[in-house]
Amino acid sequence: MSALSVPKIVTPRFDTIVGLTDAVCRTHLTDEYAALARELAAALSRKRPSPLMRGHCDTWACGVMYSIGAVNFLFDPAQTPRVNSRELCALFGVSQSACAAKTREIRQIFNIGPLDPRWCLPSQLAENPLVWMIPVNGVIVDMRHYLDEETGDLADGLPTPVLNLALFFGSIVAWVTDHLPHGDWHTNVPCRRSPGRRRCLGDIMAELDRTSGHIVWQCPVCGDHGLIHGWEGTLWNRQGGERAASSETPPTTSH
């Protein structure tokens, strides 16, 4: 989004935390890591009460960065960039035990696990198998199984959870592409979530990131957010011209 939603009371601490993560990312990581760290810090700031209001900002910054790094295998020697856990803590001037405590808390709040698509680097989404995994009748399945092999479009007779998810992301793509080149980031797409079994009343905000080519979306009420890429060759693309000649790679989402 153009600007992350952060409550005013938390803004000073949020600014301090992302200032620390930005600085580490500038010197040792990437802009993608910096952007995800800001998103995670913003999501923490919107919790009621926000956990960012207690504890040290440098410890929270380290926990945020560690959480993002763990999802993306930052500590794997085969990765580039790569920083080991001890080095990361040292960059923030935080002990490993203090960082571990904050990381554990963050993971519990958002139920973050390895390869979590919500916190995967955009450049790695296409290779992330969990992006397509959704529950259907209590079973986790790969959503690509429900796409037409020849066209990449939705097949007939889709299970309701698959159809609802496809229509949600498709509606976002349709809105964004229908309002190019100038854009209208406040869509008419209702949020899909029901936190606490109460329907979220937010409408999705979305825009095209012209640098990465991803469609970035977020609910300003509950904080649900993600990225959509590979949308160019889908039936929801309302840009001028014909659809992409090939649909061999279905559109991919992070949610």
Provide the pLDDT for residue 45: 94
Nearest to 204 by CA among 181, 223, 231: 223
Nearest to 43 by CA among 109, 120, 113: 109
The region that residue 228 occupies, defined by phi over 0 for left and psi between -120 and 50 for alpha, beta otherwise, is beta
For the CA atoms of 148, 124, 229, 3, the dihedral, rounded to the nearest 10 degrees, stands at 150
If DSSP codes are grouped into helix, strand and coil, which group holds residue 219?
coil
| Separation CA 111–CA 10 (nearest Å) | 22
In the chain, the amino acid numbered 190 is: P
| Separation CA 75–CA 114 (nearest Å) | 12
In the chain, the amino acid numbered 29 is: L
Nearest to 255 by CA among 76, 99, 120, 107: 120
Provide the pLDDT for residue 41: 95
| Separation CA 244–CA 222 (nearest Å) | 34
| Beta pairing, strands 225-229 & 139-142 | unpaired
For the CA atoms of 101, 103, 107, 112, the dihedral, rounded to the nearest 10 degrees, stands at -150
Q: For the chain, what is the largest distance between any 2 Cα atoms, rounded to a whole number of angstroms?
A: 56
Residues making up the chain, counted from first to last: 255
Sheet containing strand 203-208, edge to edge, reads 186-190, 203-208, 215-218, 225-229, 252-254
Domains of the chain: 8-113 (1.10.472.10), 122-254 (no CATH)
Provide the pLDDT for residue 94: 95
pLDDT tens string for the chain (255 positions)? 445 789 999 999 999 999 999 999 999 999 999 999 999 999 999 998 999 999 999 999 999 999 999 998 899 888 888 999 999 999 999 999 999 999 999 999 988 887 787 888 877 776 666 656 655 555 555 555 656 666 666 666 667 776 777 788 888 888 998 888 777 788 989 998 887 788 888 999 998 887 777 788 888 888 888 777 777 777 788 875 444 333 334 455 555
